[in-house]
Amino acid sequence: MAKKVAKFCERLKAFFKKYLFNPTWRCASCGREIFEDEYFCKDCYKALPFNSGVICDHCGRQTIASENYCSTCKNVLVSLDKCRSVFNYEGKIAFLIKQAKYENKKYLLDYFANELTALYKNQSFTADIVACVPMTRKSLKKRGYNQSKILAQTFAKNCNLPFIDCLVKEKETSRQATLSRQERRKNLQGVFRVAKRKEVKDKSVLLIDDVTTTGSTAEIIAKRLKGAGAKAVYLLTIASVPPIDKY
Ligand SMILES: [Zn+2]
Ligand SMILES: [Zn+2]
């Protein structure tokens, strides 16, 4: 009985969360009215850029050839064991991720966490714990929430895995995408620290983030986690920027 009540409360909470944050009952993409308990109308859902074609077996980015490693991650993402992403970072998805990240549209994070859950259930690797890419205390205060943490917590709950807030970001960094590879490495030195080493030791860690751009942030975090004894580090993101050699 208690279980049933808890389940009902959970559903009620999810309903209010969704419709209070999205009170118009409209498609998150085109704004058309929808009548099903969905986030998108059928047309917009079909048009989403799912990353479902040929991908790099390592970093999970869309590639043109069925090579095992794309040129973007080869010999670069060495501490990360495998990365996968739900979408290609383009068009509507790029817009919606920004809305979830900067415009307080947190109900979209629930949708993205559901897609991450479906993606994880299709993989051959399994994780022991879930972690997220952290923000500095200052940035967190400014934005009010860490989108990666919300994603990771919802995802962990969906998958029945423990979420461990084991990482700390100690200083701000410049935007990685605008820097050269060498500058990126320098920019990330001394930025991340593993706070709960005991909980990471001998575990397979699944790191959650919003977008894979260069992958260098997740790579340095994976290096730190492995330094703390993690057995494996995987990365799941909502979307990844296809490698340069695609164009
Ligand atoms: Zn629509
Ligand atoms: Zn790759």
| pLDDT tens per residue across span 19-63 | 655 555 789 999 888 887 789 999 999 999 999 888 999 999 988
Ligand nearest to C-alpha 96: 1
Largest CA distance in the chain: 59
- In the reported structure, the alpha carbon of residue 170 is separated from the centroid of ligand 1 by a whole-number distance in angstroms of 40
Q: Confidence band (pLDDT; 50, 70, 90) for 16? A: low
Q: Within a 13 Å sphere around the CA of 40, how many CA atoms are in the beta-carbon half? A: 16
Nearest ligand to residue 59 Cα = 2
* Nearest Cα to Cα of residue 234 among 103, 112, 91, 123: 123
Distance CA 112, CA 102 (A): 15
Contact 223, 207 (CB under 8 A): no
Phi, psi of 163 (to 5 degrees): -90, 125
**What spacing in Å lies between the alpha carbon of 30 and ligand 1's midpoint?**
4
pLDDT tens by residue, 53-100: 889 999 999 887 656 778 888 888 899 999 999 999 999 999 999 999
Nearest bound ligand to the CA of residue 47: 1
Mean pLDDT value of segment 196-213: 96
Ligand number with the minimum distance to the CA of 73 = 2
Q: How far is the CA of 226 from the centre of ligand 2 (A)?
A: 20
Is 24 or 2 the better-scoring residue by pLDDT? Answer: 2
18 alpha carbon to ligand 2 midpoint, in Å? 35
How much is the pTM?
A: 0.87
Top CATH class, 52-246: alpha beta
Report the separation in Å between the CA atom of 61 and the middle of ligand 2, taken as the mean of its atom positions.
6
**Across all residues in the chain, what is the average pLDDT?**
89
Q: How far is the CA of 78 from the centre of ligand 1 (A)?
A: 39
Is the Cα torsion angle 17, 19, 22, 26 positive or negative in sign?
A: positive
Domain boundaries, the chain: 1-47, 52-246
pLDDT in tens, 155-195: 999 999 999 999 999 998 877 667 777 787 788 888 999 99
Residue 24 confidence (pLDDT): 55
CA of 231 to the centre of ligand 2 (A): 21
DSSP at 62: B
Strand pairing report for 82-88 and 232-240: parallel
pLDDT of residue 246: 44
Ligand 2 center–CA 11 separation, angstroms: 39
